[in-house]
Structure 1
Amino acid sequence: MSVETLTPSKEKPVLAGQRPAARRTVAQFIVEQLRLWSVERIYGVIGDANFRLLDELGKQQSIRYIPCRHEGGAALMASAESKLSGRLAVCLATSGPGMANLLNGLADAAADRTPVLAITGQVETSKLGTRAKQYIDQQKLIAAIAGRSELVAHPDALPELLERAMVQAVTMGQVAHLSIPTDLYTAPVRGEPKPYSPHLHQPPLASAADIAKLAELIAAADRPALYVGRGIAGCRDEVRRLAETIGAPVITTLPARSLFPNDHELYAGGLGQAGSEAASTLLGECDLIVQLGATWWPEEYVPEGKRIAQVDRNPAAIGIGRQLALGLTGDLAGMMPQLAGDGRLAKRDRSAWKRRAIEAAAAWKRVIESEARQGGSPIAPQSIMHIAARHAADDAVIAVDTGDHTLWFDRIFQAKPSQRILVSGRWRTLGFALPAAVAAKLSQPKRQAIAIAGDGGVVQTIAEFQTAAEQKLPLVLIVLNNGSYAMEKHRMEAGGIETVGSAIAAPDFAKLAEAFGGVGLRAGTPEELEQCMQRASSENRPVLIDAAAEPAVVPHTQP
């Protein structure tokens, strides 16, 4: 048998060297790639390093550019939109200080694991690494925040770099960042934009055997308690059925407060200083904590030595800092029907534990109802939260800033099932609420948007009230005006520390709102706040309500 030998050909291999012709510039490619991923808005501040990209945005209608007053506000808007939608959101800034100003809002997105893409202009390629104006190594600057940050050094690298950045942001809940030298925006790109692929959002599935192990663990418990977070958004009915089947009290994180009926007899409130005493009491008495889609774990408010079962989509979030009886990775919406329907769960008599949970929850609700009925002037923060809850639409988006009012909100506010609560969860930046409400109203315009902020935090991003007015967004901003950074002041007082820096000489917020093109109102009593909220509902412009708030100390405040 003869063996044939292959003679090397002088011809190029099939398809070798054949690349698609350049049909788009860098700027055009970015816009088209974002459009194919259903990006509807880009939040940003103008700068000369992005002129060409802004030019392309101005030539099309698919993606709306939202001109903000500060890059930090733009990034917070992107973060909030992503938290609300679960999809990729985008912000834009120029080089140097524009890029630096984005960092606070991007850190909020990174800390709460929500996908945001930041695009920043950079100096010309010939000036990279020099002392050119506004040059800084952007990859070093953002290294602690972004999961991926790349400098586009050649136009033909853009298709891969942009796709990898977007995929990593979406699949890992991270901030991704691209720096674009200004001279590359008009350069031709070889390659084609790719549409969003459904495989990117396929949820991780736990096996039936693993779910059965969790059911067995719950079935063996005499006094189980459910601690739930945002991860139950797609299976709230099954979580309620599970709680009712096993007679378990339900405790929520702040962002998940609306995901379990607040008027349910088994709802025991939130966890932590902002939560309820009933939650900590019942956790102390339970013999199993079932943690579903929640990562917040305030050690000083949870008992030690408890058996814990935790379920989360993200394996890296499971069991941090504590020993688990069972950890399970998977999408709760996919596993809860099997878990809630397991026949073993109802076989144990837990009637005494259920009565205990109902009694503790009812006693807690009587306490907060009493607090919420306070009158007088200045207005008790509990009354402000109660009034805000009464006037919030059934499907309202409520954006809450960082401060003492955050704790009062979680203590008092009774959320409705279709409402959404947006917070700066782990980053806890001042100034979150107003940009978040702007993003909420832009992305879901038919829903009421309410921002609740303190007089110390709101000034951080108050200029975005002008953005709201310019965009004709009828949102409501409630400012609790107590003349101080109350959380810091009260903690300093509790520790016997001089309260230097805690006092605030606030501006006239109502006049400021009018100057920005909105409506400014003042409330000094609960009755006046009721009237302001009623008027706000009929306005077609943003409304700021300056509420004179009593500087009450949140229970359990420690230095």
Structure 2
Amino acid sequence: MGQTVMEKKADAAGTTAATEWRPVNSGQTSPAEGLNAAQYVLKQLAEWGVERIYGVIGDATLYVLDEMAKQNRIRYVPCRHEEAAALMASAEAKLTGKLAVCMATSGPGIVNLMNGLADAAADKVPVMAITGQVDTAKMGTRTKQYIDQQRLMGGITAATELLAHPDALPETLQRLLTEAVTAGTVAHLSVPRDLWRMTVKGVTAGYPAHLHQSMQVPNDPVEKAAALLRQASRPLLYLGRGIASAAPEARELAELASAAVVTTLPARPLFPNDHPLYAGGLGQAGSEAASVLMAEADLLLLLGATWWPDDYAPADVRGTVVQVDAAREQLGMGHPLHHGIVGDLREVLPRLIAALRQGQGGAGTMAAPPDRAPWAERIAREAKAWKAAITEEAAKDGSPVPPQRVMKAVSDAAPEGAVLCVDTGDHTLWFDRIFQAKPGQRVLVSGRWRTLGFALPAAVAASLAEPERRVLAIAGDGGAVQTLMEFQTAVELELPLVLLIIDNGAYAMERNRMEGAALIPLGSAIRNPDFAGVAEACGGKGYRVQTAAELEEALLQSLQARGPSLIQVRTAPDRVPHTKL
């Protein structure tokens, strides 16, 4: 309990008045920096490492925009639409692993943010959304652009708060930031317009390093996983986006264990695609080899992967399933689990490798038994057959260009270290089927939310966050129109990104599924604008191509340009294998 002091007061007659108790620190002045709420928010974000805020101007954020213009620690990125601003923040967080921030005004502004924030929430990346709200005196009334923002955001954010008084800002903002970065999630703060200019009682606090101190995993779970892997005759590693920080260790483990390797789409560049142990991706867009080998494996080791498509993963898992993930709630989600390890892969994998080596007397390769030579031959046979099939598909030619040939051209043209931002649609499947990643590349997608319009905003964010990389966005004609005007944003920011639009005149994935089920594909046809003309009208470079040779030349020129380029390629209506409703 806190200490108190007793004060006795004497009345005029000298008698003792009633005793008063109060805390020893009562009346002391709390430290303050004299900042108003807008200044405080910006300073706090900067001290947490935030470099950009993506947003669209509006009445309820004018004061904070004014303060942003007076400082140079955080850059404001003015977008054409709030959805794109939130998608940019989501993409930046996916690429860097760091907190990203977006901002919008009240009413329509916050509503427009929601689709992009849902993408961040679904893929579990740290994003902070800050929105203006109507004046406190107008809260709960029928004033323009008022909505209960906390009810609105409740289904998307892990935490959402309304700032009711400027003195609550230090604790509230710190808690929301902590929630976002530690849980990898979306947090939201509403600030009434009149509070932005009020003085805050409190001081900003920098990012506390302990938030990302990794917890030490006990030896027993790692030793058990090593023992299970050591005993397996047909091991398989299934790698997801979470392996990004430990990709070299994943390769070492695969080679040590002679394990087949399967990846999710975002993890494609994290393991050499030409490696003899690599069997491709999992799912409709993945490889048949991946599904076959997963069904035959007697041990499945999931590393940073949560994608488990029922139609392509084993329906009856015969092997032992071991999973390692930093998020304990991901373990066993949607699939069987026999042994789970909660931990940072950067810390767990070296220990797992060491335990394997120690168990075989320090040898550099797995000892027999078990004899993994038959399994290695099986992997090589399935992978070779798969690669031969997609090589044949990618060699198709014609005008309009077959989508397989388009993805082959992208695969050949994209340099090492490039960031490829892939939208949602039929082209996503072709990309995952044909594309062969090069070292250092990254693939950004709308993983679980799968929204249209992701690619271009993601490319803008990637170009800003990591300007030394080449950035290529790939979008279908249905997705491109959702956020097309962010090409103007790219022009104004002078970003050397490339937007490739697959022009097949349809929502092809939906059309193909409907036709395959003998449904009338109402609403699937698209009458497209002249995308290349739009790019040129925005001040960028536009290309219209109808052959593979024209596409290859346009990609070459675009990837060397200093500003943004758009390539519109007429594409044949080929149907992805295994398409069904």
TM range (shorter): over 0.9
Inter-partner Cα distance in structure 1 for 2:215 and 2:512: 44
Report the Cα offset of residue 9 of structure 1.
3.1
Deviates more, 1:465-474 or 1:317-326: 317-326
Note if 1:276 corresponds to 2:287. Answer: yes
Inter-partner Cα distance in structure 2 for 1:334 and 1:417: 23
| Partner of residue 15, structure 2 | none
- After superposition, residues 183-194 of structure 1 pair within 5 angstroms as 183-194=194-205
Inter-partner Cα distance in structure 2 for 1:322 and 1:450: 34
- After superposition, residues 474-485 of structure 1 pair within 5 angstroms as 474-485=496-507
1:204·1:329 contact (CA, 8 Å) conserved in 2? no
1:108·1:429 contact (CA, 8 Å) conserved in 2? yes
Distance 1:375 1:323, change over 3 A: closer
1:42·1:90 contact (CA, 8 Å) conserved in 2? yes
- After superposition, residues 34-433 of structure 1 pair within 5 angstroms as 34-303=45-314, 304-306=316-318, 307-341=320-354, 342-343=356-357, 344=359, 346-347=366-367, 348-433=370-455
Inter-partner Cα distance in structure 1 for 2:184 and 2:376: 37
CA shift digits 1:184-209 (9 cap, x unpaired): 00000000010001111112332122
SS of the residue 1:308 aligns to: strand
Instruction: Report the AA paired with residue 447 of structure 1.
Output: R
Report the Cα offset of residue 22 of structure 1.
5.6
CA shift digits 1:253-283 (9 cap, x unpaired): 0001100000101100000001000000111
Structure 2 gap segments, 5+ residues each:
9-20, 361-365
Deviates more, 1:374-383 or 1:321-330: 321-330
CA shift digits 1:477-502 (9 cap, x unpaired): 00000000000000001111100000
| Partner of residue 476, structure 2 | 454
Deviates more, 1:141-150 or 1:226-235: 226-235
Instruction: Report the AA paired with residue 534 of structure 1.
Output: L
| Partner of residue 34, structure 2 | 23
| Partner of residue 14, structure 2 | none
SS of the residue 1:191 aligns to: coil
| Partner of residue 9, structure 1 | 7
| Partner of residue 13, structure 2 | none
Report the Cα offset of residue 421 of structure 1.
0.5
Q: What is the aligned residue count?
A: 554
Inter-partner Cα distance in structure 2 for 1:251 and 1:29: 47
Inter-partner Cα distance in structure 2 for 1:351 and 1:135: 67
Instruction: Report the AA paired with residue 467 of structure 1.
Output: T
2:97·2:125 contact (CA, 8 Å) conserved in 1? yes
Inter-partner Cα distance in structure 2 for 1:484 and 1:430: 13
Instruction: Report the AA paired with residue 151 of structure 1.
Output: L
| Partner of residue 541, structure 1 | 563
2:5·2:23 contact (CA, 8 Å) conserved in 1? no
Note if 1:473 corresponds to 2:518. Answer: no
Inter-partner Cα distance in structure 2 for 1:556 and 1:89: 37
CA shift digits 1:131-154 (9 cap, x unpaired): 000000000111100000000010
Alignment root-mean-square deviation, CA: 1.2
Instruction: Report the AA paired with residue 85 of structure 2.
Output: A
Instruction: Report the AA paired with residue 362 of structure 1.
Output: K
SS of the residue 1:8 aligns to: strand
Instruction: Report the AA paired with residue 425 of structure 2.
Output: G
1:124·1:182 contact (CA, 8 Å) conserved in 2? yes
Inter-partner Cα distance in structure 2 for 1:369 and 1:358: 16
Inter-partner Cα distance in structure 2 for 1:378 and 1:231: 38
Report the Cα offset of residue 244 of structure 1.
1.3
| Partner of residue 547, structure 2 | 525
1:495 to 507, 517, 541: 517
Inter-partner Cα distance in structure 1 for 2:216 and 2:479: 41
Q: Percent identity?
A: 56
Inter-partner Cα distance in structure 1 for 2:236 and 2:173: 44
Report the Cα offset of residue 284 of structure 1.
1.3
SS of the residue 1:261 aligns to: coil
Inter-partner Cα distance in structure 2 for 1:358 and 1:204: 38
CA shift digits 1:112-133 (9 cap, x unpaired): 0001000000000000000000
Report the Cα offset of residue 231 of structure 1.
1.6
2:308·2:334 contact (CA, 8 Å) conserved in 1? no
Instruction: Report the AA paired with residue 465 of structure 1.
Output: F
Instruction: Report the AA paired with residue 259 of structure 1.
Output: L
1:506 to 528, 552, 559: 528
Distance 1:352 1:21, change over 3 A: closer
| Partner of residue 3, structure 1 | none
SS of the residue 2:40 aligns to: helix
TM-score norm. by structure 1 comes to 0.97
Report the Cα offset of residue 299 of structure 1.
1.2
Report the Cα offset of residue 7 of structure 1.
7.7
TM-score norm. by structure 2 comes to 0.94
Instruction: Report the AA paired with residue 335 of structure 2.
Output: R
Inter-partner Cα distance in structure 2 for 1:234 and 1:359: 30
Deviates more, 1:181-190 or 1:226-235: 226-235
